[in-house]
Amino acid sequence: MLRKHHAVIALLALPALGHAKLDTITVVNGSNTLLYIHQGGYAPSQQLKAGQSLRLTYPFSVIPPNETKPLHTSILIATVGGRWLTTPNGFTYLHQPTLCLKTNYVDNKQPNATWTIKKNTTSSKDCLVTGYRQPWWQPENG
């Protein structure tokens, strides 16, 4: 009789676990180099030194370049290296980062998550920091 009682309690607890909501993400720099963390994959970033961690509130609220209103996103990108270039038509982008990692927390059901970036990690295939148009650029009238 005691075992049946415990089974009922366990089954009642399962639905509550299924509705957990992600609140915070801790990014840990386990590499030996400086990382740049891009919330939503946009140009603004936060530096994360080797051996340090950064705690972020989820969902990420970010104001993309040239925008005034924040948007909410589940994407997080970490980059190393590269160079910011601006084309003659005013488009600025991150050129050839040596590392670009992307993760998406949209399906995460845990209340807290940790993303540890280790040494010798390889880039994600679909990783790209979103570039932006400089506010000074004006299209030619023709």
| Residue 86, C-beta contacts closer than 8 angstroms, at least 6 positions apart | 92, 134
**pLDDT tens per residue across span 66-103:** 889 999 999 999 999 999 999 999 999 999 999 999 99
Residue 102 in any domain: the answer is yes
Is pLDDT above 80 for 1?
A: no
Dist. CA 133–CA 22, nearest whole Å: 33
Note the pLDDT of residue 137: 78
**pLDDT tens per residue across span 15-65:** 444 456 899 999 999 999 999 999 999 988 999 999 999 999 999 999 988
Residue 67 in any domain: the answer is yes
**pLDDT tens per residue across span 104-120:** 999 998 999 999 999 88
Residue 12 in any domain: the answer is no
Residue 7 in any domain: the answer is no
- Which residue range is the domain that position 45 belongs to? 20-133
Residue 68 in any domain: the answer is yes
Q: Work out how many domains the chain is built from and give that number.
A: 1
Cβ-in-10-Å burial (0-12, 13-18, 19+) of 78 comes to buried
State whether the Cα torsion 88-34-47-30 is positive or negative: positive
Q: Residue 56: what are its φ and ψ, rounded to 5°?
A: -120, 145
Dist. CA 34–CA 83, nearest whole Å: 14
Residue 139 in any domain: the answer is no
Is pLDDT above 50 for 8?
A: no
Who wins on pLDDT, 12 or 25?
A: 25
